[in-house]
Structure 1
Amino acid sequence: MSRLRSLDLPRSLVVRRVVALDNRVEIEVSLRKRSAVCPDCQCPTQRIHSFYQRKLADLPWQGRPATLIVSVPRFFCQTMLCPRRTFVMPLEGITVRHGRQTTRLADLHYYIAHTLGGSAGARMTVRLCCPINEVIGRWVGLKEVRFVRHLPTTVSGKITRKRLLVS
C-alpha cells in the first residue's frame, strides 16, 4: 500500500512531491494521461507543446489547508486545417474550467452552506481549515449567497436566495 494513499486524490493524478509547511501543505501532482483530444477537430494527439501549473485549493490534510499544484500539459493539434494550434487538457473530475478549488472542496463548502448556513457555516469552515474566503477566513453578509450561486451547476443546481437565507 502506498504511503500517499491517505491523500485520497483522484486516480488521474500522480503525486510528485508533498511539502509540509508551517501553516499549509502543498502537493505537487501531474496528470497520468499523456494524450488529449482537440476540442475543435476531435483529433487525438500526444504531442506536448509545454506545461503550466495550476494551483487549486483542496481538502485540508492533517489539520492544515492543502494546495494542489497541478502540472497541466498544453498540446499541439496535429490537424493542418484545424484553427486551434494548441490546447490544454481539461481537468475533468478535478476542477471546473477556470476553477481555483477542487470539486471535492467545492462539494464540502456546498454541503456546509446548506446544512449550517451563514455564520455557523463560516465558523465550521474555519474550524475545518478550509475557509471560503482565504483573505479574511470567514463569510461576511451576503458573500455566502454569492459563493453558493457561483458553484458549478453540477454541484449546486438551482439555489434560491430564500432557501439559503433561512437559518
Structure 2
Amino acid sequence: MESLNELVATVFSGISPLVVEDVVDEGERVVVRARTPGSTAVCPACGGLSGRVHGYHWRTVADLPIDGRRVVVRVRVRRLVCATRGCHHTFRDQLPGVLERYQRCTTRLTRQIKAVVKELAGRAGSRLLAMLAMGLSRHTA
C-alpha cells in the first residue's frame, strides 16, 4: 500500500498540497478525488488564523492529462469562519500554486496552456492542445 501512495504522489506531484483520497479511471478521463488539508487558514479580511469550519463544498478543476486522457480533480473545500472577535468573515480555503480563486484549471495546466498559446495562437494552438488532451476553443486561446 505504501508504494501505491508513493506512485500517486509522484504522478500527481503538482497537487501535492491536497490530500488525495481516491483516483478513478473512467475510460476517457481520470477523476482524482481530494480534499484540502485540515490545518488553519488566514482570514482575507483581518489576517487572523482560523480553523473553525462553517461548511464544505465541491470544486472541480482540470489538471494535466495523463496517458492522453483528461484529468479532473474534484476537491472538497472547507468554508471557514474567522474566529477573531468582531470579524466573523466567512472564506474558503485557497492553496496558492494549486488552486487560485475562480480558477477552473490547476496552476500547472494553466502554465502549459499559456506556453502553447503564446507560440501558436488561435486555431493552431487549439488544435495542438486538443491533440495533447488539453482541449481549449480557439476563442479562449
> Shorter chain as normaliser: what TM range?
0.7 to 0.9
Runs of 4+ in 1 over 4 A off after TM superposition: none
| Aligned residue runs from structure 1 range 48-87, under 5 A | 48-82=53-87, 84=89, 86-87=90-91
Shift, 1:127, TM fit: 0.7
The higher relative CO (CA closer than 8 Å, separation ≥ 6) is in: 2
Larger Cα-atom Rg: 1
1:121 paired residue number: 125
| Aligned residue runs from structure 1 range 1-167, under 5 A | 2-4=6-8, 5-82=10-87, 84=89, 86-133=90-137, 139=138, 143=139, 147=140
Shift, 1:101, TM fit: 0.9
**Percent identity among equivalent residues?**
32
TM-score w.r.t. the length of structure 1 is 0.74
SS of residue paired to 1:9: helix
TM-score w.r.t. the length of structure 2 is 0.87
Listed as ranges, the gaps of 5+ residues in structure 1 are 134-138, 149-167
Q: What is the rounded CA distance, in whole Å, between the counterparts of 1:10 and 1:55 in structure 2? A: 13
Q: Bigger CA drift: 115-124 or 43-52? A: 115-124
CA RMSD of aligned residues (A): 1.6
SS of residue paired to 2:15: coil
Q: What is the rounded CA distance, in whole Å, between the counterparts of 1:83 and 1:34 in structure 2? A: 18
Listed as ranges, the gaps of 5+ residues in structure 2 are none
Q: What is the rounded CA distance, in whole Å, between the counterparts of 1:11 and 1:101 in structure 2? A: 15
Query: Of Structure 1 and Structure 2, which has the larger fraction of its residues in strand?
Result: 2
